[in-house]
Structure 1
């Protein structure tokens, strides 16, 4: 089966053909889905530390709803998923950071206006910053954007009907049933893991058994999947064993739990150092295309004002660059408001001049770092997809840098052990900066996927950018009350709003806890800078090796951020991605050297669709029952059988994907 024209030769809807995009029904449906998916992902992210990408589920829901109308088209469906996924992505940016202010003891809840201002300003900046990045990354960067391709395949198959729809539907149903059996019924294990100790060295290993990551690996291909997996091996095959050989195991834990604890508290910072260096390298490589894009946009604006407007194809019309700059400056106003309102001068113990300098630093650093890390997040989304985009990693880098600069600005006498109130206020300032950057980066990564989808289906970019704004503002409006509700219902990260609450039902907020520990670690002088430095050196070595390959004209290249992502992410996520890449390669060999087939892409997209949809739907009974065990069908004693069944089912899907992809 040949690839659709949308992927191989040009947009599915050609530039010279116009279809309605932002319609009343698409706008209403996009707003509703953005609100619902933002709320659902807020719960999931606080519970397990990960959110579910909403682009494909929103596209499927949109197709189902819009089919009820006599006139609907693929570009309307694309507009709906664009808005909906923006709401979901904003939830990730908010829940990874703002709960840290509660964990610090700086907030006692989620003030509506403050939460709204941070979420809206950060999210809108993320949209604005993707506008000059679109051509640089999607057209000129040569990146895959796996979930963008998958969403486009789903939309095109739904528009064309036939065998493609069947492939997606079958895979989605199967993937959804696996997710339900794993996360809901618990009859299949969602992960398999273990550990071996050799002397004092501990070797941990594990794999997710969810089929969505298998689909992601198939779409990104073997090269990127291998590099992500290699990054995981750096942490788990070398980092953890060396650390345990030198320092022993942590108290009270053993086996895989010990390996996981060492990775999350120590070795993960290798990835932070690697991503910091890799991000800077990516920015350097993007300077020229971003500069050229901005120049071209300014030139178009000047020619339009002089009456010499050049005809630009509909599918290349971005929001004009002067609107981008005006919008960026406008976002500084709510940031000034929220920094003044949240950062308390008496708690900070600063003079009027130092306090004003701190507020100015916070706003300017958030704007500059927001653009820089939005570029990095967009680049990483192109490599590994938005679901696997380690937004928390770039946020940690932001908080680390901001905290160190605040130490310089406020004076080195700020020490958590000496003056806890001042140190906590300084840490809260760094968290607030990180929250703005995290929202911008989360939106940037997801929106680049959406713009990739739009590029393939033939959407109008500036209309997508408008709907991204709509999705961001919708999410910002609903997230504060949702977070307040969840905090009062469950408690967060060991903090409870009242006495007598059940600790077993608490939402762990793992990412926000990590942000809190980083910010406090800087002011307590307790961070292990040696590990961060080693991670940076690893990144430098990878960059050098990649440049050597480039000089030799090798077809194999080593983008440093792909490896850095693997170092930072749990090995459990890297293994199924690697296996998906192997399936893509094997199926391509079976087809005579082609790297992929249309059926394989559609089937992989269906796996992602089914797991994502069920993952979001499961949040409803979990939230209502205040327990993730509400649908459980088996006792704890069934665990060994569940693990065996989980592995067998997963391997069955590996073979099934290969059989489909080779036809």
Structure 2
């Protein structure tokens, strides 16, 4: 039970990270540390009990990357993330990963002992041995968890300081720099280390300080659109719009190439691992008649693996939510066994952080889509099936590597493989129940309805779901506000922050909202238009209730659509009136001057581009090939292309705090005279920061949904106090507010972020305690 709970917590954290920056970090060591501390508080526990907790907890966390990297691509292909589909994909992929590792344990863990080091698995065993001898360092993890959660809640919930600090560079057209003051991304940078963090940030520098300014410079004089998908001229695009229209395709080519190169480089290991795995499987069958096995040698029977694999094929094929045919179900099990083997062996050699899971998913997608193309399966439902196929394989491969780490830990501490394999199944199934829910929560919490009309465009699919919009006629005269120095843009921005859309179609002023509200509630909303002017809506004009309007949800998808794939709302005549822009991979990052919660989901965008590029045969290959050759150039220079390419994909605001975390780690390594251990104070504090910050982000999204935005509006202290009075003026000057001073709000956010980084540095360089010293050999 404890392992399942901790697995759910760290799985939610990993989902948040994966959709934000396309990265996750291992939770095995923090789970082991917390298990020791919790059981010690409840009474003495054995090392084997703590091993089971660590096993179940890490199994749940390992599912998150495959789920959060692949399933959000459905949103980009014109589908919703369905809870049942997410649950079945997660559970079946996780079970496949565990099943395939059962016959491989003897060969990879036992026979290869001394050759395959399994760094994280060995470090987890060290933590468990130290805990058995009386040491523990759970306080550091808990401190990080509380600090990360409170800090995240302070800026993301209460808006006490800016979520991202930055500015445009006037000396370089189209260039900008920014950084999220994010505790979880600081922790990620610390754990992945200075080299990977620096290479990733170099990709962002190429994107935001070279490619975007170049495109802006050369495109500023163009009077026609460059790509068919362009909605405006380059000269009218912001840096983020240029990134979304052009640079993402370059990044896609670089990421796909980097992933494939890492996979090709691992081919000798892959083929050798696969051959040895078959030898191991044959040897296990020959030894199956052994009369009595030691407790530490007992696995679940091979008949369970064979029978379970057949049942998996049937379950994947016959499950209605998956929409997978028999050929794809067969491909899933074949690719699953192959890549679980690959993942387990690579994890044993270089650890899970360098395990090219993305490359394995890309390879699965490429092969699957090419098979589909040859068979003529190119419609939107086939794209859905191709993504589901790759998602299950990716989850299985990710979980296979983590399972191998856990089996290595148990081997080192004397665990029972059979019981551990049962714990893995428990961890997979319990976490699968929540991972899809977390993904849906994060998406729905930031999904925004944006007015967007596309005359003459029909939906590909209309659903039975409807949304009701409430309206009020408003007698407000804009001229009255203009005489007081209030621009129309400021009025629209303040209304939008209150959940109200201002429409002036056909000369009539109308307020619209999707939230349940009566005339008194709408009229009582306060608009902080400028310092000293914060009237209620009712004070600016009379509100008269208008008709409720009902819109139907539907999707646009396919190769020949003149508008981007996605979800839209249509009126009774079938005309598109609104875009339902998701939080994950949404294409509108700001509306009416108000920044929207958006998650870049770099891996999901890559997978969607691959599927569309092959099956629709419509892709700006010039841009993609630029990315391919950038990746090849880096490899020729001896630089790993994959983290660099991920940096090209990431917003600069997300990559900058990762870079800072990497620099803190570099400083710590120098001050301590060598690289840190995997369970040193800095690593444990970073794990806590990641979990605390991520869970706070999930909870804020949950509050947004269950209260229809009321709770998050009530937590917004700058808006609550207004611009009048000393405290209100201060909060609106330095906090997350449109009235914030550009310099002082940036400095305030940087100062608080620097204080967290300094606390991480101070914690990391403290003298190791008995809990952190390596166990006796």
**TM-score of the superposed pair, with normalisation by structure 2:** 0.62
Counterpart in 2 of 1:210?
182
Residue 96 (structure 2) aligns with: 125
| 1:499 corresponds to | 467
CA distance in 2, matches of 1:598, 1:87: 20
Q: Which of 69-78 and 562-571 deviates more?
A: 562-571
The correspondence of residues 407-446 of structure 1 with structure 2, limited to 5 A, is 407-410=373-376, 414=378, 423-444=379-400, 446=402
Is 1:634 aligned with 2:718? yes
What pairs up with 1:21-420 in 2 under 5 angstroms? 28-32=1-5, 34=7, 55=28, 58-59=31-32, 62-63=35-36, 65-67=38-40, 69-90=42-63, 93-94=66-67, 96-98=69-71, 110=82, 112=84, 116-129=87-100, 132=104, 135=109, 140=115, 145=120, 164-196=137-169, 202-236=174-208, 238-244=210-216, 250=234, 253-256=237-240, 258-259=242-243, 262-264=246-248, 266-292=250-276, 294-296=278-280, 298-303=282-287, 305=289, 314=296, 324=305, 327-338=308-319, 342=323, 359-371=325-337, 374=340, 379=346, 395=361, 398-410=364-376, 414=378
What is residue 611 of structure 2 aligned with on the other side?
Answer: 519
Quickly say closer, same or farther: Cα 1:655–1:240, change in 2 above 3 A.
same
Richer in helix (by share): 1
Matched residues in 2 for 1:137 and 1:268: separation? Answer: 37
Q: Kindly state the Cα deviation for residue 270 of structure 1 after the two structures are TM-superposed.
A: 1.8
For the residues of structure 1 that align with 2:339 and 2:759, how far apart are their CA atoms? 38
When residues 288 and 254 of structure 1 are mapped into structure 2, their CA distance, relative to the original with a 3 A threshold, is: same
Sort the Cα spacing of 1:239 and 1:165 in 2 relative to 1 into closer, same or farther, 3 A. Answer: same
SS in structure 2 of the partner of residue 629 of structure 1 = helix
The structure in which a higher percent of residues are strand is 2
Offset of 1:612 from its aligned partner?
A: 0.7
Deviations 1:546-570 (A, max 9, x none): 5xxxxxxxxxxx5554545545555
Question: Does the C-alpha gap of structure 1 residues 330 and 241 become closer, same or farther in structure 2, counting only changes over 3 Å?
Answer: farther
1:72 is paired with a residue of what secondary structure? coil
Q: 1:97 to 1:53 in 2, by over 3 A?
A: same
Q: Which residue of the partner structure matches residue 346 of structure 1?
A: none
Pick one of 601, 605, 625 that aligns with 2:684. Answer: 605
**Secondary structure of the corresponding residue to residue 499 of structure 1:** strand
1:409/1:499 CA distance change after superposition, 3 Å: same
- Relative to structure 1, is the Cα distance of residues 658 and 360 closer, same or farther in structure 2, using a 3 angstrom cutoff? same
- Contact 2:165–2:181 (CA<8 Å) still a contact in 1? yes
Say which structure, 1 or 2, has more relative contact order (CA 8 Å, 6+ apart). Answer: 1
**Residue 622 and residue 149 in structure 1: after superposition, are their counterparts in 2 closer, same or farther (change >3 A)?**
farther
Distance 1:332 1:450 in 2: 26
Deviation, structure 1 residue 87: 3.5
Deviations along 1:89-145, one digit per CA (max 9) or x if unpaired, are 4455445545655775677x8484x55543322221233455648649997466755
Partner Cα separation in structure 2 for residue 305 and residue 469 of structure 1: 26
Q: Which residue of 2 aligns with 1:594?
A: 674
For the 8 Å contact 2:410–2:416, the answer to whether it is kept is yes
1:469 aligns with 2:561: no
Q: Determine the C-alpha separation between the residues in 2 that align with 1:526 and 1:49.
A: 25
Change (3 A) 1:596 1:482: closer
1:481 CA drift (Å): 7.6
Contact between 2:183 and 2:693, CA under 8 Å: does it hold in 1? Answer: no
Q: Residues 175 and 212 of structure 2 are in contact (CA less than 8 Å); yes or no, is this contact kept in structure 1?
A: yes
1:634 aligned counterpart, secondary structure: helix
- Which entry has the higher C-alpha Rg, 1 or 2? 2
Count of matched residue pairs: 589
Cα 1:255/1:46, change in 2 over 3 Å: closer
Give 1:222 shift. 3.6
C-alpha distance in structure 2 between counterparts of 1:97 and 1:47, whole Å: 13
Q: What residue number does 1:646 align with?
A: 749
Deviation for aligned residue 1:467:
1.9
Q: 1:405 to 1:274 in 2, by over 3 A?
A: same
CA displacement at 1:597 relative to structure 2: 6.2
- Structure 1 pair 215/205, CA: closer, same or farther in 2 (3 Å)? same
> Post-superposition shift, 1:269?
3.5
Q: Give the 3-state SS of the residue equivalent to 2:695 in structure 1.
A: helix
**Corresponding residue number in structure 2 for 1:549:** none
Q: Find out whether 1:509 has 2:590 as its counterpart.
A: no
**CA 1:47/1:562 → structure 2, altered by over 3 Å: closer, same or farther?**
closer
Report the secondary structure of 2:266's partner residue: helix
Q: Closer, same or farther in 2 for the Cα pair 1:658/1:299, shift >3 Å?
A: same
Q: Deviations over 1:376-426 (max 9, x none)?
A: 76658997966x989677545543442333111117xx5xxxxxxxx2222
CA deviation profile, 1:254-290 (whole Å, cap 9, x unmatched): 1456446644454344212221232232244333245
Residues 543 and 367 of structure 1, relative CA distance in 2, 3 Å threshold: farther
Instruction: Give 1:537-552 correspondences, 5 Å limit.
Output: 537-543=629-635, 546=638
Q: Which whole-Å CA distance do the structure 2 matches of 1:192 and 1:215 have between them? A: 18
Q: 1:450 to 1:176 in 2, by over 3 A?
A: farther
Does the 8 Å contact 2:270/2:342 carry over to 1?
no
Residues 493 and 513 in structure 1, CA contact (< 8 A), matched pair in contact too: no
